[in-house]
Structure 1
Amino acid sequence: MESPRRFDTITIIFNPNSTGDAPRLAEGLRDELVPALPDTEVLLTPTDHAGHAIDLAREAALSGNALVVSVSGDGGYNEVVNGAMASGAEDVVCAVLAAGNANDHSRVTGRKPLGEAIVEGQVRRIDLLRISIAGTDAVPAAEPVHAHSYIGFGLTPIMAIDLEKGSKGAIKEMFSVARTFRKFKPFEIRQSDGERRKFDSLVFANISQMAKYATLSEADDHPSDGKFEVVIFPHMAKWKILLTALRASTKGLGDQPSYSRYRFSTLKPLPYQIDGEVKDVAAGTDITIDSIPQALAILG
């Protein structure tokens, strides 16, 4: 076993106005680490606004030999990961302490309590997803964004709106899935072979589960193989797609194809979900999803 990694600083980023227990958990982690790591500076760093964690994580990473901890759900951790990646620092390590409602990444990839993992200091590396969105005549190209867990188009972002309203348990989650069909419409894209195809859902998954109970793939839970799973729901009768979605919430969808890169073009404006946050992309946009192997050093 390698010698434990010791950091100059541990920056714990959290939302002080969280409706959940993020402030209490952040303080609890600080209180656990300070006596256990007397030679490490442990900082509590609250956010001021949406997106602030990106800047805070970038600044913390640039200080050198830093661990940046997000006390949050998947969306907050996404900001910290993107801030760390934007810093260009090669020695930064990230971690997430689950707080709030959506904690798929922590639940699927976590191996032990975070405080214990930090004290043990055994760092490992995981892949990241990267979405690159080309510009159009009306909308300039966006900077590539990384995802630690998944990127989804179609049914996925619509499901996310209902699932993140606080449903508890697989049965209530299944009812949330059913409700989305009242407002759901399929979408059409042009794939890299030039063919137009219609889908109900298209998910690029770096982990095997999302939305608390939905099992997307039987792949290894540790996202470090340089590939991601592509979970496709081709357009079909609504009763069939409903049964497929319910199967994901109970038995799982089984093995899915893996890719290191996937390209397509939008034909109409589309919402998409990236690590729990819903965004939009314009029509006529070229999109590339890449796996960035071993891109992120983590603890937990």
Structure 2
Amino acid sequence: MRAVLVVNPKATTTSERSRDVLVRALRSEVDLTVRYTRRRGHATDLAREAADEGVDLVVTLGGDGTVNEVVNGLLTAQPATVDPARPSAERLPALATVPGGSTNVFARALGLPREWPEGTSMILEALRLGRSRTIGLGRADDRYFTFCAGFGLDAAVVHRVESARRKGRVSTPALYLRSAVSHYFVGSDRRHPAIRLERPGAPAESELATVIVQNTAPWTYLGEREVNPNPEASFDLGLDVMALRQLRVASTARTAAQILSRRPDPHGRHVFRLHDLDEFVLVSSRPQPFQLDGDYLGEREKVRFTSVPAALRVIC
């Protein structure tokens, strides 16, 4: 089996020595080539090249941003020796994800351990046993995502956290909480909901303040605690949506408590939820912060979401 390991050298939970250990372990099972990312977006190019070369497996070592880039590289590849009419999960390399970031939502949603040594052991076992599964993805306009998207408040929080990390701050649950509180009280226009959700065959839902889209559950983690706005979201179904109609202090705090509970079930007059959607569009009367898989992508006024079933084969 030919494989390419795409390494983000800035991965927060690994060192050069641990990467060497990982490479030796993988080479005991596959014919491995190692490629390092050098800039944002480089993992997309490396994964696309690997798929075009006809490798069997692409392994990532990095966080959720690295995984997202690799997935987009794979799904936009056009291997010359493979029938393009075949489903992408059959014609493209499989994906294995070694947890190397601070949160590793995608890997953990697949059932992999949080730490990279245990995650690597589970992947090696899966390779020996031929164990894999096929998962669906989400697509926002022309970009794929693996576990979540945000339009509004949560994307603004991601933007604040990314800015803090560029200044040398370490990504921690406390940093996310401080960023969320700060933006909520200082940076958001909480009194004028501007988002509208449109879907085929149903009336539009207007005056939404913020929207979370999930392709699986959980949405994210705070340390070991799952955060679950849409607990029924699944890789095997369409997309799930939770939106807040208002961002008043009391109702927002109540919803936050609900999604952090052991049995999450966000509800109330201000909560709007949809399950297992094939497609929908978010439109805003003013630009909204936008994120995919925890990466801030700027502001948008309109985003079209589509569920892409059985898109990718993963080793887990």
**How many angstroms apart in 2 are the aligned matches of 1:154 and 1:230?**
13
1:299 equivalent to 2:315? Answer yes
Correspondence for 1:257 among 274, 295, 307? 274
**How many angstroms apart in 2 are the aligned matches of 1:104 and 1:252?**
19
1:224 equivalent to 2:236? Answer yes
**How many angstroms apart in 2 are the aligned matches of 1:148 and 1:22?**
26
Q: Cα distance 1:101–1:237, how it changes in 2: closer, same or farther (>3 A)?
A: same
> Please, which runs of 5 or more residues in structure 1 have no aligned partner?
1-6, 133-143
- 1:194 deviates by 7.6
Which residue number corresponds to residue 80 of structure 1?
70
Q: Residue type of the partner of 1:109? A: L
Which residue number corresponds to residue 290 of structure 1?
306
Which residue number corresponds to residue 294 of structure 2?
276
- 1:202 deviates by 0.6
Listed as ranges, the matches of 1:55-204 within 5 Å are: 55-89=45-79, 90-111=91-112, 113-132=122-141, 144-161=142-159, 166=170, 168=172, 177-182=180-185, 183-186=187-190, 187-192=193-198, 197-204=206-213
Identity between Structure 1 and Structure 2 (%): 23
Structure 2 contact 94–315 (Cα < 8 Å) conserved: yes
Q: TM-score, normalised by structure 2?
A: 0.77
Structure 2 contact 153–289 (Cα < 8 Å) conserved: no
The superposition leaves residues 199-231 of structure 1 with CA deviations (integer Å, 9 ceiling, x where unpaired) of 2321110111133131122326x5112x11111
Q: TM-score, normalised by structure 1?
A: 0.81
> Please, which runs of 5 or more residues in structure 2 have no aligned partner?
80-90, 113-118, 163-168, 267-272
Q: Cα distance 1:252–1:24, how it changes in 2: closer, same or farther (>3 A)?
A: farther
Which residue number corresponds to residue 227 of structure 2?
214
Which residue number corresponds to residue 51 of structure 1?
41
What is the RMSD of the two structures over their aligned residues, measured on CA atoms? 2.6
Q: Residue type of the partner of 2:124? A: G
SS in 2 for 1:88: coil
**How many angstroms apart in 2 are the aligned matches of 1:180 and 1:206?**
25
Q: Residue type of the partner of 2:239? A: F
**How many angstroms apart in 1 are the aligned matches of 2:23 and 2:155?**
34
Q: Cα distance 1:42–1:157, how it changes in 2: closer, same or farther (>3 A)?
A: same
SS in 2 for 1:119: helix
Q: Residue type of the partner of 2:69? A: E
Structure 1 contact 33–119 (Cα < 8 Å) conserved: no
SS in 2 for 1:70: strand
Structure 1 contact 71–96 (Cα < 8 Å) conserved: yes
- 1:196 deviates by 7.1
Aligned residues: 274
- 1:55 deviates by 0.4
